[in-house]
Structure 1
């Protein structure tokens, strides 16, 4: 199963005999809350999922784990069952932005053992651009599903493992904007810069302006220029793990398995002893 689905193919699937469960994960850094956009317009039948509450665990006093810690299996499993997901359920996730939040949901489902999940390429914008209908009607609660989380479906790194990964010759991609990587600007986190040895690979550089992913051949060429070549191990990070999940998704589309440093920069800087690099 491909990890992306077009608006036309989703519309056809929703009209089929076994329609997928659709999750709207609209969210953007700094707000406004995604639920506001969902209440105005969403794909008919889509359930809203709150990234901060259902796709993230609680914050720690020290900041360890990052701004969006990976939720505990029990909490994530309960959330997914609430939306009717079971082991054989096809799931499509989307958001109203650049598919960053949708990629977070895609990665979490796969990490907890559910690989029957796809991201709507281009998100809600692609859906409306195709003149497909939207609604403000909130669907009835789903019949509870039977999803049981089984961690380990993807490779997840912590800070120490990430440091060892770089030291061992792995390619660590930083999905944030270039100015944040270089330490020229840091609007969110307490320190500016990047993990020593990381390579800047902003998520905006392998997507179209409308949020759709570029063709696989284009993406493969882009990542090859960043050192992603056969035989090299790859991992990604960002500020809090969401945009990096988008980068892991892009790599998955071109057939490259990649680990995710889930805590990302916000976790890395929670320990003042960890080194910080700036510049190119």
Structure 2
């Protein structure tokens, strides 16, 4: 199944006999929080207007654990994650569509977590709520019934720090952050700037067109091929804290290239002074 769904396709499916379950994952970027920009209340924005039937899920509370040695957005406790998903109505037998305000990063984090824990049919709304031209509803939506989804994680889609370091030497490790953070020119959040030695700069912002939607699959495939990716060799991705990196994993999936995510990402790696740091445009 495709990893994304268009707004027109979603409207058609919602009107059909087996409509997908909708999850609203609106969220403020960590960089915006660090820069002191006005706080964004995702739940309040959801209550003011969301796609009819969508259930709100909080990224920081439900799709990540507490910030610490494992990074700013480590894996959530899977017992808690499973409970939240079931309360939202998630079952393995029903397709799920996730969306956010439009950037796609938060929705991709939900997509990645559900896929990693075994859900067989989850897609991201391409362009998010910003692309949706249909009706909205206000207030809180509740599922008709609790779901039955039980997370069963796999070991294929996930990297730890040692695995990321090894992949940077033996395969392809992509850094999804802005190029200036990769080079170490600036570092607005973490202890030190730079990148994991051997990682290749591949900002996920370049996977998106001007209208906020992902670029066509053939364009994405061409881009990733130029960076050294293929469907036959291992590919991994990291970012600042495992959110924008999930968006790059999504773009790779659309391009037909499977990839694993280093969830701890730079926020975990850079917090350990024993880990090597490379700077400048060269991977090494």
Q: What TM-score do you get using the length of structure 1 for normalisation?
A: 0.94
Written as runs of structure 1 = structure 2, the 5 A alignment for 1:100-111 is: 100-111=105-116
CA separation of 1:91/1:177 partners in 2, compared to 1, >3 Å: closer, same or farther? Answer: same
1:160-187 deviations in whole A, cap 9, x for unaligned? 111111222x111011111111111111
Q: Which runs of 5+ in 2 are unaligned?
A: 34-38
CA separation of 1:124/1:221 partners in 2, compared to 1, >3 Å: closer, same or farther? Answer: same
Match of 1:159 among 161, 174, 185: 161
Q: CA deviation at 1:141?
A: 4.9
Which residue in 2 is equivalent to 1:122? Answer: 127
Match of 1:48 among 50, 56, 72: 56
1:203-228 deviations in whole A, cap 9, x for unaligned? 11111123201011111111111111
For the aligned residue pairs, the C-alpha RMSD in angstroms reads 1.4
Which residue in 2 is equivalent to 1:68? Answer: 73
Which residue in 2 is equivalent to 1:177? Answer: 178
Q: CA deviation at 1:153?
A: 6.8
Written as runs of structure 1 = structure 2, the 5 A alignment for 1:92-241 is: 92-127=97-132, 131-152=133-154, 154-168=156-170, 170-241=171-242
Secondary structure of 1:255's aligned partner: coil
For 2:167 and 2:279, the matched residues in 1 are separated by 19
Q: CA deviation at 1:116?
A: 0.9
Which residue in 1 is equivalent to 2:259? Answer: 258
Secondary structure of 2:106's aligned partner: helix
Q: CA deviation at 1:32?
A: 1.4
Moved over 2 A (4+): 229-232
Which residue in 1 is equivalent to 2:8? Answer: 8
Aligned residues: 273
Which residue in 2 is equivalent to 1:87? Answer: 92
Secondary structure of 1:241's aligned partner: coil
Q: CA deviation at 1:58?
A: 2.1
Give yes or no for contact 1:25–1:49 (8 Å, CA) kept in 2.
yes
Give yes or no for contact 1:39–1:138 (8 Å, CA) kept in 2.
yes
Q: CA deviation at 1:28?
A: 2.0
For 1:186 and 1:35, the matched residues in 2 are separated by 29
Which residue in 1 is equivalent to 2:36? Answer: none
For 1:246 and 1:195, the matched residues in 2 are separated by 19
Secondary structure of 2:236's aligned partner: strand
CA separation of 1:154/1:117 partners in 2, compared to 1, >3 Å: closer, same or farther? Answer: farther
Give yes or no for contact 2:190–2:271 (8 Å, CA) kept in 1.
no
CA separation of 1:275/1:206 partners in 2, compared to 1, >3 Å: closer, same or farther? Answer: same
For 1:104 and 1:142, the matched residues in 2 are separated by 25
Q: CA deviation at 1:6?
A: 0.6
Give yes or no for contact 1:110–1:153 (8 Å, CA) kept in 2.
no
Secondary structure of 1:102's aligned partner: helix
Q: What TM-score do you get using the length of structure 2 for normalisation?
A: 0.92
Q: Which runs of 5+ in 1 are unaligned?
A: none
Q: CA deviation at 1:33?
A: 2.7
